[in-house]
Amino acid sequence: MSNGSRAGGTLMKKQERQRYIRELLKANNIDKQEDFVILLKKEGITVTQATISRDIKEMQLIKVPATDGTYSYNLPVQKQLNTEKKLTKTLKDAFISTDVQNEMCLIKVTPGSGPAIVSLIEQMNYSFVFGTLGGDGSALIICHSNKDALKLSRIINEIVIE
Amino acid sequence: MSNGSRAGGTLMKKQERQRYIRELLKANNIDKQEDFVILLKKEGITVTQATISRDIKEMQLIKVPATDGTYSYNLPVQKQLNTEKKLTKTLKDAFISTDVQNEMCLIKVTPGSGPAIVSLIEQMNYSFVFGTLGGDGSALIICHSNKDALKLSRIINEIVIE
DNA sequence: AGTGAATAAAAATTCAAG
DNA sequence: CTTGAATTTTTATTCACT
């Protein structure tokens, strides 16, 4: 708990902000980074455009020219395809089991694979995922609801058997 | 032949440039619009960044943040998905037959549907398509080679029966 | 580590003009 | 309608700080 790289430190703020960004993307038509700054302020999160630029880079969001002549930031379908492949491969390799309790889905994997799984699931930008926690031999995925957690569990199991 | 909106006028230049842009995308890792300006100059096409910006908007290219921390312009997979759906629908509705001669593929369709088909095929950004010509009841697709034309013909027919 | 303020760099648009 | 030059706007990065 003494340095910044641990969960629960200032790090959490970024993760939470990026979660909001993901939500905002779906609801609004955002055509510039300042819009994120403004919308986040309404949620009580104060950041500058510089931070948003970094978030966008990290989340690999893309600015898409729409048919109607406007621009809008979007989730990266492109990237998604690659990520899904990696997730599939990693899961097939390391998967042991899933467990669901309330809104949480615990994915048990072979030792050492937890962080990789968590990272990939983060990258998938599943709308129903609220947060993640990576252990050594497990990945705890916190969803919005029990229904969502079951959904994720189903998805994971389908990936493994596919 | 008196105004700028007709094929064969100055319009052709834009179309050709955008064709080059599509090619450049695949070959190079382009992270800024100036790169297009420079690469196009090597092809003998002189334009400014302003024009590239407009092309990018029109072609709906996206700037993708890569995993390695760089950016690169890409073809829009996202858009592609929608376009493919429209193409499928339109073809199923209007398709009559395909004919291949040399590097050309002639798609015969019901009267009035030619331009729509051409527009959709343009939007598909098929790498093997060199140019298009839309008639009333037909779409002439010029590919790079006879093999490519046959490939397109196969694709079109597969779409129709799918 | 993550961030903001300032700045540099890149991209979009405006304003002629062909 | 298409473009370039100039400009504005937006976005990325640098630098300092924590």
- As a whole number of angstroms, the distance between CA B121 and CA A46 comes to 45
User: In the predicted model, what is the mean pLDDT of residues A128-140?
Assistant: 91
The reply to whether the CB atom of residue A2 sits less than 7 A from any atom in nucleic acid chain C is: no
- As a whole number of angstroms, the distance between CA A11 and CA B47 comes to 45
Question: Of B48, B44, B50, B49, whose CA–CA distance to B16 is shortest?
Answer: B44
Q: Examine the pLDDT at B152 and tell me if it is beyond 80.
A: yes
Closest CB to A57 among B59, B65, B78: B65
pLDDT in the model for residue B1: 35
Residues of A with CB under 8 A from a CB of B: 56-67, 69, 71, 74, 76-79, 81
Q: Give the residue, B83 or B58, on which the prediction is more confident.
A: B58
Backbone region of residue B60 per phi and psi (left: phi > 0; alpha: psi in -120 to 50; beta: other values): left
Q: Smallest Cα–C1' distance to nucleotide C9: which residue has it?
A: B32
Contact in structure between A66 and B58 (CB atoms under 8 Å): no
- As a whole number of angstroms, the distance between CA A62 and CA A76 comes to 6
Which site among B60, B62, B63 would you substitute to test the A interface, given the most A Cβ atoms closer than 10 Å to its Cβ?
A: B62
Residue the block writes with tokens 């969803």: A143
Structural domains in chain A, CATH included, are 11-74 (1.10.10.10), 77-161 (3.30.1360.40)
Strands B104-109 and B62-65: unpaired
Query: pLDDT tens digits, residue range A68-100?
Result: 889 999 887 666 666 788 899 999 999 999 999
Question: Of B83, B154, B151, B143, whose CA–CA distance to B117 is shortest?
Answer: B83
- As a whole number of angstroms, the distance between CA A45 and CA B64 comes to 26
Chain D positions with any atom < 7 A from a protein CB: 1-6, 9-14
pLDDT in the model for residue B4: 38
One-letter identity of residue A55: D
% of chain A residues with pLDDT over 70: 89
Query: pLDDT tens digits, residue range B83-137?
Result: 788 899 999 999 999 999 999 999 999 999 999 999 889 878 787 888 889 999 9
Residues of B with CB under 8 A from a CB of A: 56-67, 69, 71, 74, 76-79, 81
pLDDT in the model for residue A81: 67
